Structure 1
Amino acid sequence: MYLYFLRVADPSEKSDVQLSIRLADSVDLSVAKMSSKKKKHFLGMPAPLGYVPGLGRGATGFTTRSDIGPARDANDPVDDRHAPPGKRTVGDQMKKNQQENDDEEDLNDSNYDEFNGYAGSLFSSGPYEKDDEEADAIYNAVDKRLDERRKDRREQREREEIEKYRMERPKIQQQFSDLKRKLVEVSEEEWLNIPEVGDARNKRQRNPRHEKLTPIPDSFLAKHMHGSSDQHNSVDPRQLKYGAGLTTPYPRTGLNTPFPGGMTPGLMTPGSGELDMRKIGQARNTLMDMRLSQVSDSVSGQTVVDPKGYLTDLNSMIPTYGGDINDIKKARLLLKSVRETNPHHPPAWIASARLEEVTGKLQVARNLIMKATEMCPKSEDVWLEAARLQPGDSAKAVVANAVRHLPQSVRVWIRAADLETELKAKKRVLRKALEQVPNSVRLWKAAVELEDPDDARILLSRAVECCPTSVELWLALARLETYENARRVLNKARENIPTDRHIWITAAKLEEANGNTTMVDKIVDRAIASLRANGVEINRDQWIQDSEECDKAGSVATCQAIIRAVIGIGVEEEDRKHAWMEDAESCIVHGALECARAIYAYALQVFPSKKSVWLRAAYFEKNHGTRDSLEALLQRAVAHCPKAEVLWLMGAKSKWLAGDVPSARSILALAFQANPNSEEIWLAAIKLESENNEDERARRLLAKARSSAPTARVFMKSVKLEWVLGNIPRALDLCHEALHHYEQFPKLWMMKGQVFQQLDNVEDARQSYSQGLKKCPQSAPLWLLLSRLEECAGQLTRARAILEKARLKNPQHPELWLESVRLEYRAGLKNIASTLMAKAMQECPNSGILWAEAIYLESRPQRKTKSVDALKKCEHDPHVLLAVGKLFWSERKITKAREWFLRTVKIDPDLGDAWGYFYKFELQHGTQEQQEEVMKRCENVEPRHGELWCQMSKDINNWRKKPGEVLELVANKLTNTF
């Protein structure tokens, strides 16, 4: 054993450190003395930098205060006591001075500064003051500003270079785009006659000269074994080792290896000395067939084992857990540690059992949970988990044991009842449970559900005695009792539970169901007073929700009584109208129409002179009520608001649609008395007569209206009536007379020009439009009519100039830009049309009609990208939504197209073109019910706008057609091709 000792002298004398080695117990002292006399070559030499004596042998260096001294300042001179003494010569000093001079005059390129040269800055050694910092900041700001000024030119130059590069080196997709378009012209026969590619390799590659090595099958070796042609179906028993396998590897050539010690195996055929493998296989198959046939059918005749699929059934035993096995092991160890630390902790046992269940070890899980029942016999969760993991009868035994340990557990009793398959057994278990836990509402409910009405009533009578605070049991008993007994039951329930509102509501519903509707309002009022007396806060939203439930249950009187009682609770006086209208809309959304009707009725009682409330109630009756209810409401409305023209008109229209024209006339006559010289009523009366083929009466009404209430619209209706009836001279005379009084009304100029166009008088039509534009330069339809007139006359340049002038007069007008784009497109100048569209999008970036047209102008592969951009800019614009729906239609995406058409007509039901496309789409891809639904919805909303819709509805040949007939005309004219 060697012992090493390190002796360190004064730290300043580390160069004189001596190492002495003392050998103990086995080394002679004289040998140590002889070795110490030898002079080592490293003695006296300075220690290397960072050297710690004995570090290689495990020693640790240390520093004393004499090394570093007391706390020295950073500016103190460095203590070089540990540095080796050195001798400086004159030559060394000269070399050092020469090196310093070389450093000062270093002319290397890396030492060159662009601003200061080789010598460096004259002021680099000086202090960096605040003035210098400000100057540098100013110079940096100037440089940054100059760089920003050059940024646009630099980016423009980079874009030009990229475009040039892409033009010179286009992508493969762009190179073959024209060829891909020509694939449309390829017929099906040409497509099928395209030759296959085949194998392009040469013959040498397809048929290499070198031979392929194919392994010889075992059947060939077995056939030629031992050099004979006989097939060997047996194995030499000497090749087997008794009870352990082969003594040597089994050779293919059939070499015989004798058994050691002369042992002989037991499985041999008599007399042959060899083991017949073929017979063993046959015997195995026979034995398996016998066993399967024995257990295939049970006594009842139902199959227990599937002889064909018994192996495939093993798939159900494959563990479904796909996690890491290491995680499972870690979880097992952790749970085992928890169980051992606290064996009476039920969650640890349950988690362990579920872990084994997840990993497919169901029996291990069962063993664990059964052990848990021993360790935690008072845990309800452990017993329930054990019952879940155990199969049928075993689960019943587990639950029976659980009941003995936990006779008061409701969940265990419920589980015991669920495990029973027969109804009588379930009832028996629940009866025993109620004997142990008579105050459990859950057990009473489960027991009552299994009984017939008579027995259930008896059980509920006992249940309310045991659980007098359960509202559900009281209400269930009241439903099973007769009217008189139910009243008594509810009275007892109110005495036991004076703070529950459902008992009062059930009492009101009971009175309503038995025809005693006069008591409903009294019961509801008493309920609110009683609940307030018992300190219950009346929550308005909860009561309205209860009224909605009553409405859905058919208790109309009860829901209306609740609304009248609580609608004004908690609402400020100035917010009543707004809050009540919101409540009515919410009820409509939830399908509680009677509640909404009750809210409107109460609001009309509070605000009888509010026109907006009457209108909301009228629209509600129009959409969700009957014609009689609507007319009754409108009669009361015009009595309270006789100056509301729209209410009179709604009443007259309702009578007219019902076919009662005399009643409609009488309503309009009353409206004239309440609103003399009203333009809307005059026009409604005129429309009523003209729509019912009473042309002379309509003329007389128009003449009277022109004399008593002359307006531009009255004159316009007069001109149109004569025009559609074919009296063109009279229409022109009326038009001249109207323009003499109302020259600022553009529709008169438009009608005058259209009459001349109908007469093929192009010059007079042009003059009419031109005069109208002088008087009404802001009318876009006039500009469009004049441009189209010139286009039809072949004056394309003049039409283009008219549109350009119109855009100057009306900047940022999307309809004018759209007409300009379409003009160029119809002329075949697609490039100019695209340029104009780009300018239009710059001037009107949020115009839906322009974005929709831009989608159509793009090539088919680019339309989807353009539609995404359009939706980002105009998400809720009906024209964009319609364009997207048409795009899906063209791609045969029927479901998506229908969804987008529905969104379009929902956002803007007044857009007739959307209804036309929707109807045409359903004609091609929808059912008869869907087509009728679109037609019905269109007739209800009566759209008035849309380019093609207005073109069809305002045609003089279609002036008497209903909205449904106009819809069919629009659908026939529309096309779904882009």
Structure 2
Amino acid sequence: MAAKPNKLAFLSMPAPASYVAGLGRGASGFTTRSDIGPAREGPSAEVIAEAQARRGEEPEIDPDQFQDPDNEYGLFAGTTYEADDEEADKIYDLVDQNMDARRRARREALENEELARHRAERPKIQQQFADLKRGLAVVTDEEWENIPEVGNLTRKKRKRDERSFVVPDSVIVGDRSKTEYESSLDTRQQESGGFETPAESGTLTNFVEMGQARDKILSLKLDQVSGNSTTSGLSTSVDPKGYLTSLDSVIIKTDAEIGDIKRARMLFDSLVKSNPKHSPGWIAAACLEEHAGRMVAARKIIKAGCEQCPKSEDVWLEAARLHNNDDAKVILANAVQHVGQSVKVWLAAADLEHDVKAKKRVLRKALEHIPNSVRLWKETVNLESSAADARILLSRAVEVIPLSVELWLALARLETPDKAKAVLNKARKAIPTSHEIWIAAGRLLEQEAYATDKPEEQREKELAVVDKTIEAGVRELRRHQVLLTREQWLKEAERCENEGSPRTCEAIVKATVAMDIEEEDRLDTWVGDAEAAEAKSNVGTARAILAYALRVFPDKKNLWRKAAALEKAHGTRESLDAILTRAVHHCPQAEVLWLMWAKEKWLAGDVPAAREVLERAFVANPESEQIWLAAVKLEAENKELGVARELLVRARTVADTERVSFHVPFHNLSPDELFIADLMKSAVFERQQGQTSTALETLATALKKYPKFAKLYMIQGQIHQSQNDFAAARASFAAGIRACPKEAALWILASRLEEADGKSIKARALLDKARLANPANDLLWAEAVGVEERSGGATQAKTVLARGLQECPSSGLLWSMAIWAESRPTRKARSADALRKAESDPMIEKARQWFERATSANPDLGDTWAWWLKFERQHGTSEHQEEVIRKCIAAEPHHSHVWQSVAKDIGNAGKSTKEILELVAGVLH
């Protein structure tokens, strides 16, 4: 029989080469006193690296091994990071982002395709069993119970352990005692009906309790099989179908989070031990355990916190939060024994009650302890279902807390109007320094005035009482040294307007808007206040401020214009008509007010009323050019051509006025220029009616007397060009250029004439001369770029555009053209350059907010409105488009490159602003 191998023989075997005991645990060779002399050195670095390589460890890398020996702090430590370096870094980052964006879609598609192929070839285990897991949803309870137990399916022959051990005698004696039975019973019967039987340990066994326990365990197992179990009064249920799905909601904490929790636990433990009376420490420690999922530990900690800090309401509230509803009630009941004056504890106790009666009982108990708490009274009143009960409670509340404005106002709201007045009078006497009570009184009077149908005169008398009440309130508050600022009063006025009391708002403005203002600053201050209120959509406040300002300054036509603009934007036609009627009464010489009134009548479709307004305007301003021209336009638009022609003839005889016109495009013109304007209007009118010969005669007459007026040459050349008489048109434009070489529009028209005649080279030469005569003119550079683009020279167009940007670096027009000239991926970077160079230029096309800013900066640029409309058609909604059209009609733009070319076209004569806007938006590209 062969001898068994000695399993401990390896201890006498020689150690492998380079073996160092404990090296795997981080130890190395060391020397003791007995080893002095032939003591060996520790392993070399090569040996350690070789051992680490065999164990699969990565060698440590010295971070300083690649450091420049001559420069201890880095290669570029001596240099300065300047703005150019930062801009260069941003450019490189932008380039990297653009390059990455170009290839991102293709790269992600390849990655997704490779991942799908990899998963198809080597699916995960959970994917292989996905169909089986879905099948578990239909497994019944009986099938689930009939699943056999898992056995040993490895089919491997297990190695038997044939070792034997000596069994102690105590084990043998213990096993023998288990099979023995007592033959006698104890005669002492317990209250439960069992008998006490001595066991080996000397204790007594109650067989009745054992039987009850057995029955309880059996019922528990039966409940588990049926799907429901009840343990210690807690009802739980297990859904076998959703069990696997519920596992997804289990939060698995990472090692880092566990480490952070352990460190925080140590810190909080030290905190509460060193300062046990610090309640925030106990709360933080409990919240930490709650976050870690250890609710039992959290409750234990917060319980200790309640014992250590019984006077802290926050600890008791946190303890109530961490427990269930029933336990929380017990905790808060204990809390009120220690912090009975805590309103938060009583409110938390009331929130735990689900029955309204129970809530009332808790809150009334709280009021017994804290009768001066406004919040408790408010919560108690809110629980009352009837107004009568709430009124009784509030009556008691104002007796207990007479200085609470909220309770007085709440009581007044519940009373009838007559009793509410009495309540407010009592409140005013109790709290003479409260402005809220005076405002509430004014609102009550206003509400009473509008409560029923009354005659208008009686209602106005009652509303006049509102003004007197607010005025008296301001006076009384000053007497009691309550000095609210004008801004605070205006905020109260805005609040009244927002809450549906416009007359009280107006009364507050009347009584306080003139406070704390120097006399010379009143007008500017009031206009600024009105604009600020309108910006916040408080139209009533703005209207009241302007109305007060107009009573002080009735002769300021600009103030009347602002009031009319406010009514046009937010009011009705009737209110606008009333404002303009008063305006022309106080400022009869203000032609712009007459023209606004006539225009509004015309827009409303009441042409006879518009004629009547202009007739009254003639009486007040018999020599007004603008009123004459408005009358001509009114008659021409209504097809009364004979009357319009007669009015023009009469208007040309009136040229001795020296007044200043406010009507675009005749702004700040001299009398001679007004005469020229009349002639020009006549020529345009004749041209629109097809009387080109008459129009040319009129222009010739005007040019003989005023040869320096550029618009006359423009109209003359355009008439010749429309008749295909290029020679006459060229002569008109040439004469205009000689007379007015600084007029860029003349050069542009002359260039376009040559383009229309097929002479692009001559057009280019004209623009070169124009730029010499008018340096740094972006309109001329833009036209030159357009000539190159229309000639098919895209490369040359970019060159001209680059030269133009060098000469006009802040031109929004040229930057917008440069943006559109770039390819789509590079437009964003080009837009950033444009914003940096021409940030305040309204020609930059950006998103909706930029369009709004651009139109606010200069609402007269029609191209900006057209670009905005085009943008909203591509990216916005119909509501956005209508809003843009509405604002454009109100602004009435007249200038811009494309807008003027469309609006001045003879085919578009007589079209409205909306129609021109639609046409320009269609032309832009």
Q: State the TM-score, normalized to the length of structure 1.
A: 0.68
In structure 1, the partner of 2:545 is: 599
Q: Which deviations, in whole Å up to 9, do the C-alpha atoms of 1:654-702 show, x marking residues without a partner?
A: 1111122222122222222322322211211111111111111110000
Kept in 2: contact 1:448–1:456 (CA 8 A): yes
Whether 1:354 and 2:287 are equivalent positions in the alignment is: yes
Q: 2:590 aligns with which of 644, 656, 660?
A: 644
Cα distance between partner residues in 1 of 2:378 and 2:97: 72
Q: 1:501 aligns with which of 435, 441, 445?
A: 435
Cα distance between partner residues in 2 of 1:371 and 1:612: 74
Change (3 A) 1:234 1:557: closer
Whether 1:405 and 2:316 are equivalent positions in the alignment is: no
Whether 1:343 and 2:276 are equivalent positions in the alignment is: yes
Deviation of 1:511 after TM superposition, in Å, equals: 1.1
Structure 1 range deviating more: 535-544 or 924-933: 924-933
Structure 1 range deviating more: 784-793 or 286-295: 286-295
Kept in 2: contact 1:317–1:360 (CA 8 A): no
Cα distance between partner residues in 1 of 2:367 and 2:776: 82
Q: Which deviations, in whole Å up to 9, do the C-alpha atoms of 1:586-626 show, x marking residues without a partner?
A: 21122221111111111111111122212211211111111
Deviation of 1:839 after TM superposition, in Å, equals: 1.7
Q: Which deviations, in whole Å up to 9, do the C-alpha atoms of 1:809-844 show, x marking residues without a partner?
A: 111111111111221222223333222222211111
Deviation of 1:905 after TM superposition, in Å, equals: 4.1
Kept in 2: contact 1:618–1:633 (CA 8 A): yes
Whether 1:538 and 2:484 are equivalent positions in the alignment is: yes
Structure 1 range deviating more: 341-350 or 796-805: 341-350
Change (3 A) 1:354 1:288: same
In structure 1, the partner of 2:909 is: 959
In structure 1, the partner of 2:699 is: 735
Whether 1:747 and 2:693 are equivalent positions in the alignment is: no
Cα distance between partner residues in 1 of 2:230 and 2:535: 60
In structure 1, the partner of 2:570 is: 624
Q: Counterparts in 2 of 1:445-844, with a 5 A limit? A: 445-452=378-385, 453-515=387-449, 516-709=462-655, 711-844=675-808
Cα distance between partner residues in 2 of 1:855 and 1:344: 68
Deviation of 1:733 after TM superposition, in Å, equals: 1.0
Cα distance between partner residues in 1 of 2:910 and 2:283: 80
Kept in 1: contact 2:220–2:230 (CA 8 A): no
Whether 1:257 and 2:161 are equivalent positions in the alignment is: yes
Whether 1:939 and 2:889 are equivalent positions in the alignment is: yes
Could you say what secondary structure the match of 1:439 adopts? coil
Cα distance between partner residues in 2 of 1:844 and 1:341: 73
Deviation of 1:296 after TM superposition, in Å, equals: 3.3
Structure 1 range deviating more: 550-559 or 930-939: 930-939
Structure 1 range deviating more: 534-543 or 329-338: 329-338
How many residue pairs get aligned? The number is 710
Kept in 2: contact 1:905–1:914 (CA 8 A): yes
Kept in 2: contact 1:430–1:443 (CA 8 A): yes
Larger radius of gyration: 1
Change (3 A) 1:465 1:316: farther
Q: Counterparts in 2 of 1:293-312, with a 5 A limit? A: 293-296=225-228, 304-310=237-243
Change (3 A) 1:859 1:317: closer
Change (3 A) 1:579 1:930: closer
In structure 2, the partner of 1:876 is: 840
AA at the equivalent of 2:896: G
Change (3 A) 1:726 1:401: same
Kept in 1: contact 2:636–2:644 (CA 8 A): yes
Cα distance between partner residues in 1 of 2:414 and 2:719: 79
In structure 2, the partner of 1:26 is: none
Could you say what secondary structure the match of 2:422 adopts? helix
Q: State the TM-score, normalized to the length of structure 2.
A: 0.72
- Over the matched positions of the two proteins, sequence identity in percent amounts to 50
AA at the equivalent of 2:914: G
Deviation of 1:394 after TM superposition, in Å, equals: 0.8
AA at the equivalent of 2:367: L
Deviation of 1:325 after TM superposition, in Å, equals: 4.3
Deviation of 1:291 after TM superposition, in Å, equals: 5.4
Q: Which deviations, in whole Å up to 9, do the C-alpha atoms of 1:406-430 show, x marking residues without a partner?
A: 2222111111001111211111111
Cα distance between partner residues in 2 of 1:355 and 1:347: 12
AA at the equivalent of 1:411: K
Q: Counterparts in 2 of 1:229-248, with a 5 A limit? A: none
In structure 1, the partner of 2:304 is: 371
Kept in 2: contact 1:366–1:390 (CA 8 A): yes
Q: Counterparts in 2 of 1:303-342, with a 5 A limit? A: 304-310=237-243, 313=246, 318=251, 324-342=257-275
Whether 1:380 and 2:313 are equivalent positions in the alignment is: yes
Kept in 2: contact 1:652–1:667 (CA 8 A): yes
Cα distance between partner residues in 2 of 1:314 and 1:762: 86
Could you say what secondary structure the match of 2:843 adopts? helix
Change (3 A) 1:781 1:503: same
Q: 1:442 aligns with which of 368, 375, 384?
A: 375
Kept in 2: contact 1:319–1:360 (CA 8 A): no
Unaligned runs of 5+ in 2: 1-94, 104-108, 115-148, 173-217, 450-461, 656-673
Q: Which deviations, in whole Å up to 9, do the C-alpha atoms of 1:325-369 show, x marking residues without a partner?
A: 454444333333333333333233222222222222221110011
Cα distance between partner residues in 1 of 2:243 and 2:331: 31
Q: 2:358 aligns with which of 425, 433, 451?
A: 425
In structure 2, the partner of 1:969 is: 919
Change (3 A) 1:234 1:418: closer
CA RMSD of aligned residues (A): 3.4
AA at the equivalent of 2:884: V
Cα distance between partner residues in 2 of 1:746 and 1:172: 53
In structure 2, the partner of 1:75 is: none
Cα distance between partner residues in 2 of 1:928 and 1:467: 56
Structure 1 range deviating more: 488-497 or 469-478: 488-497
Kept in 1: contact 2:98–2:825 (CA 8 A): no
Unaligned runs of 5+ in 1: 1-170, 182-191, 198-231, 237-249, 266-285, 885-896
